[in-house]
Amino acid sequence: MKQLITMVCLFVCIQAGFAQKNIDPKEIHDKMQWFGDAKLGIFIHAGIYAVNGIDESWSFHNKKISYADYMKQLQGFTLKKYDPAFWASLIQESGARYAVITTKHHDGVAMYDTKLSNLSIVKQTPAKKDMVKPFFEELRKRNIKCGAYYSLIDWSSDNYPGFLKDSSRYTVSKDYDRWNRFRAFFQGQIKEISDTFRPDLWWFDGDWEHSAEEWESQKVRTIILSGNPKSIINGRLQGYGDYETPEQNFPVSRPGYNWWELCMTSNDNWGFHHDNNWKTPYEVITIFADVISNGGNLLLDMGPKEDGAIPEEQIHLLKELGAWNKKHEEAIFNTVGGLPQGHFYGPSTLSKDATTLYLFLHGKVNGQVMIKGLSNKIEEVTVLGNGTKLQSKVVGKISWSPVPGLVYITVPDSVADKYVTVLKVKLDKPIRLYKGHGGLN
Ligand code: GLC
C-alpha cells in the first residue's frame, strides 16, 4: 500500500527567499544558532527626534520641519535620566536575548563618540556622552547579545547625495570622487563601531537608496567579519546579509527564509512620539506566538525620551510580555517553528528533537481544541506553567487505515492564562504528520 504518512523534516533548510550573494551557507548556519534560539530582541530607537517627539529623520526629509529646526533638537537632548543598567535589566525581564540600538539614524547624528564626524550626541548635545558604550556593557553583564543599528543613508553628510525628498546634492555617476569620500566615511564608521563595540549583530538600514556596487556591500561585509567573524548581519545590505527583516506587518504565510525577524513598533512610531496607540500585551503576545510558530524572531521596538526615560506604557508592555515568557519559557526559547498550516487553528512550536508539541491558544479556552493529521500517539497533555493534565481523545480513527484520527483535547476555563494559554503535548516519538487527502488510503 502506498505510504501515506509524510515525514515532516523540521530541520531541512528551506532555500533562502532573498538573494544572498557569494555567502557560504555553512558559515551562516553555525553563527546563526544563538539567533534562531533567541526568538525575542528589543529594538531601541534613541535619537534627537525624541526632543520634539517627531518622526526619526524622516520629518525633515519629508519637509514636515526644516532641517535647521530639526537640528535644533540637539540642544534639547540631555539624557539626564539615562540608566543603562535599568534598560538592560528591563530587557532581561522581558525575556529578550538580544537588543539592537541606533548608533546612527538617517539624520547622521551618531549616538556614540565617533572620531570621524562632529555630528554626535557627545560633541553637540548637553548629554555629552556616548549612549552605546555603557548600554552594551550592561547588556553583556547579563549575557544579552548586542546589536548595532547603523543607517547607510546619512542625509546630513555633505558628501551624501540624498537630502530632502525633492532635492539632492549631486548624483553619484556625475561625481564619483565625492561619492568615494562618502564611502570612506561610512565604511570608516563601520570599522570604528566594529573595533570599539564588537557588535554581535549589525542591523543596517536604508540600503534601498543605492546598489550593492555603490555601497560596496561585499567590502562592508568583509570589514565586519574580518574583525568579528561571528557577527550576524541583517538583510538590508543589498543581498549581503544573513537574514531577512519584514517590517511591521506579519506575513500571512510562512516566510521562506532560513532566518527572519519581524521588526515592530510598540505604538505606531519607532522613536518617542506623543502617540498613545499602544499595542496591548495580548496583541504583542499573540503576534509573538505567530512569529515563533512560523520560525521567526520578533524585534520589538521602544522609543526612549530625550532624557533617557522609557515611557511607562512601554515598561508595562515589556514586563507583561516578560511574565508570560517566563511562565511559558520551554515552549518559546530554543524551539523550532511548529505545525504547517492546516493541522491546528493557531500557533504552535516544537522542541528541537520534535517529540514535544506546544499549542498556543488565544483568548477564551473553554472547550475543545483539535489537531488534524497527527500520526503519533500522545503520551501526555499538560497546561504549561500550571501542570494540570488534560484529557485527549482520538475521533474517527479507522482501525485498519493508516490515516490518523482527529485529536480532541478538552481545555477547561480554569486553566486559562490571562493572555495566551500554552498546552504541552508529549509525543511517543518525533512528530510524523499525515499530509494526504483523507479517506481510506
Ligand atoms: C525604516 C525606516 C526607519 C526605521 C526602520 C526600522 O527602514 O526608514 O526610520 O528606523 O524602518 O525598521
- Please work out whether the CB of residue 207 comes within 6 Å of at least one atom of ligand 1: no
How far is the C-alpha of 364 from the C-alpha of 418, rounded, in Å?
9
Contacts of 183 (CB under 8 A, 6+ apart): 215, 216
Q: What is the pLDDT of residue 430?
A: 98
Range of weakest confidence among 51-60, 77-86, 236-245: 236-245
How far is the C-alpha of 25 from the C-alpha of 169, rounded, in Å?
39
Contact between 211 and 154 (Cβ < 8 Å): no
Average pLDDT of the residues in 417-439: 93
* Cα–ligand 1 centroid distance for 57 (angstroms): 10
* Cα–ligand 1 centroid distance for 244 (angstroms): 14
Q: What is the pLDDT of residue 14?
A: 34
Nearest atom in ligand 1 to 247's CA = 12
Q: What is the pLDDT of residue 401?
A: 87
Residue nearest to atom 9 of ligand 1 (CA): 56
**All domains of the chain in start order, with CATH:** 18-334 (3.20.20.80), 338-427 (2.60.40.1180)
- DSSP label at 70? H
242: region left, alpha or beta (phi > 0 left; psi from -120 to 50 alpha)? alpha
- Please work out whether the CB of residue 247 comes within 6 Å of at least one atom of ligand 1: yes
* Cα–ligand 1 centroid distance for 66 (angstroms): 20
* Cα–ligand 1 centroid distance for 382 (angstroms): 41
Q: What is the pLDDT of residue 24?
A: 73
How far is the C-alpha of 282 from the C-alpha of 347, rounded, in Å?
14
- Please work out whether the CB of residue 150 comes within 6 Å of at least one atom of ligand 1: no
* Cα–ligand 1 centroid distance for 261 (angstroms): 14
How far is the C-alpha of 143 from the C-alpha of 187, rounded, in Å?
28
440: confidence class by pLDDT, cuts 50, 70, 90: low
- DSSP label at 359? E
How far is the C-alpha of 404 from the C-alpha of 162, rounded, in Å?
60
Model confidence pLDDT, tens digit, residues 262-272? 999 999 999 99
- Please work out whether the CB of residue 205 comes within 6 Å of at least one atom of ligand 1: yes
* Cα–ligand 1 centroid distance for 248 (angstroms): 10
- DSSP label at 165? T
- Please work out whether the CB of residue 270 comes within 6 Å of at least one atom of ligand 1: yes
2: confidence class by pLDDT, cuts 50, 70, 90: very low
Cα pseudo-dihedral 156, 203, 231, 10, rounded to 10: -160
Ligand 1, residues 165, 205, 234: which to mutate, most atoms within 8 A of Cβ?
Answer: 205
Does residue 19 register a pLDDT over 80? no
- To the nearest whole number, what is the mean pLDDT of the chain? 93
255: confidence class by pLDDT, cuts 50, 70, 90: confident
Percent of the chain with pLDDT over 70: 94
Range of weakest confidence among 26-30, 166-170, 294-298, 337-341: 26-30
Contacts of 254 (CB under 8 A, 6+ apart): 294, 295, 337, 340, 341
Does residue 12 register a pLDDT over 50? no
Nearest atom in ligand 1 to 105's CA = 10
DSSP for 171-231 reads: -GGG-HHHHHHHHHHHHHHHHHHHHHH--SEEEEE-GGGS-HHHHTHHHHHHHHHHH-TT-
Q: What is the pLDDT of residue 13?
A: 34
**Considering only CA atoms, which of 305, 327, 308, 264 is closest in space to residue 41?**
264
Q: What is the pLDDT of residue 364?
A: 75
Residue nearest to atom 8 of ligand 1 (CA): 206
Handedness of CA 34, 291, 144, 353 (dihedral sign): negative
* Cα–ligand 1 centroid distance for 11 (angstroms): 32
- Please work out whether the CB of residue 107 comes within 6 Å of at least one atom of ligand 1: no
How far is the C-alpha of 386 from the C-alpha of 292, rounded, in Å?
22
Contact between 116 and 185 (Cβ < 8 Å): yes
DSSP for 286-318 reads: HHHHHHHHTT-EEEEEE---TTSPPPHHHHHHH
Percent of the chain with pLDDT over 90: 85
Average pLDDT of the residues in 134-148: 98
Tell me which amino acid residue 213 is.
Answer: E
- Please work out whether the CB of residue 62 comes within 6 Å of at least one atom of ligand 1: no
Nearest atom in ligand 1 to 57's CA = 9
* Cα–ligand 1 centroid distance for 205 (angstroms): 7
* Cα–ligand 1 centroid distance for 108 (angstroms): 14
Average pLDDT of the residues in 5-26: 47
Three-state DSSP at 420 gives strand
Residue nearest to atom 5 of ligand 1 (CA): 205
* Cα–ligand 1 centroid distance for 176 (angstroms): 27
Contact between 219 and 240 (Cβ < 8 Å): no
